[in-house]
Amino acid sequence: MGNRIKPYLWAVLYLALLLLMLTPFNFLALSVLLVPLLILSVTLDAKRFSLCLAALCVLPFVFLQSLGLITLVLTLFFAVPAVVMGSLYKKQKSAIAVTTSGILTVLGVMVAGFAVSGLLGFDFGRTLADLVEETMKNLPDASKAMLPRDYIDQLSDLIIQLIPLYMIAGSFYFVTIGHTLTRRILKRQNVELPKVRPFKDWMLPRSLVFYYLVGMIANLFIPADDHNSTMAVILINLMPLLNFAFCVQAFSFLCFVADLKKWNKVWLVLGLAAVIFFPPLSLLGVFDTAFPIRQRLKN
């Protein structure tokens, strides 16, 4: 009886997280909203999950009234990747396949959300720009006097151009937390989910090096004052993602070397700190991806 009731406790926890969204801890609640739905998707069959999801969509309308629409959007937003990832877990797909599918699904839901909001006349970009302008207007007069004349407009344009970067980063954030916490929780219930390879063994696709080189070369031909062309917007979003990816790859390489050479952890921490505070060292990740350095170190 306990095992039959236990999954539904996660539904209660999900409702509690929705209530937590109304408190100062809303970001913390938002970060883990995927976890209860993912656990329900894995532990329940399709029929029971559908009934449970319907209840989670309807109940907030009863208790939260005008805020019910917001909770409905949040529930549907996280339910879609939960269903996709849950079905892949049940098919015993690899962790990389599950997380990649989850990230792409969250991105797809975001794009669909922007499309629907646009059809309904809601301009997300304009709303974001207005929020930035309102925030800047609340700064002290002395601070505003130090800013360039067109700083607010330039900042608003930059933030709007970086929306694709925010979307990708957000998708990665939600899915990574969802996979990590769900796997650890279900492992305690004797439900095994695929795990990601040890961090020291991570390796990016070699094709990313090609995109990185193309981006670096293209940057040389983009005028410094060009912020609105398609190529400029692509590079503004692409290069930070690639730099972050190769920074993570550099971390992985240092962990690999530390394990191979039996480094003291102090040296490993110093190496990781050096990559963080001296960004050019992320090129170590580029070389690790492009060349078989690890194989040579093993030999």
Phi, psi of 171 (to 5 degrees): -60, -45
Written as six digits, the tokens of 238 are: 């692409």
Q: Residue 227: pLDDT band by 50, 70, 90 thresholds?
A: low
Rounded to an integer, the average pLDDT of 177-198 is 88
Domain extents for the chain?
A: 1-194, 197-299
Half-sphere exposure at residue 254, Cβ-oriented, CA atoms within 13 angstroms: 24
pTM passes above 0.75: yes
Is the pLDDT at 3 greater than 70? The verdict is: no
The reported pLDDT for the residue numbered 296 is 86
Residue range 48-79, pLDDT digits in tens: 999 999 998 888 877 777 777 888 888 999 99
SS (H, E, C) the chain: CHHHHHHHHHHHHHHHHHHHCCCCCHHHHHHCCHHHHHHHHHHCCHHHHHHHHHHHHHHHHHHHHHHHHHHHHHHHHHHHHHHHHHHHHHCCCCHHHHHHHHHHHHHHHHHHHHHHHHHCCCCHHHHHHHHHHHHHHCCCHHHHHHCCCCHHHHHHHHHHHCHHHHHHHHHHHHHHHHHHHHHHHHHHCCCCCCCCCCHHHCCCCCHHHHHHHHHHHHHHCCCCCCCCCHHHHHHHHHHHHHHHHHHHHHHHHHHHHHHHHCCCHHHHHHHHHHHHHCHHHHHHHHHHHHCCHHHHHHC
Q: Crossing angle, helix 163-188 and helix 68-90, to 10 degrees? A: 60
Residue range 240-269, pLDDT digits in tens: 889 989 999 999 998 998 888 888 888 888
The reported pLDDT for the residue numbered 7 is 76
Residue range 119-162, pLDDT digits in tens: 777 777 777 777 777 777 777 767 666 777 677 777 777 777 88
Top pLDDT among 4 and 174 is at: 174
Average pLDDT, the chain: 85
Task: Please give the Cα distance from 165 to 241 (Å, whole number).
Answer: 7
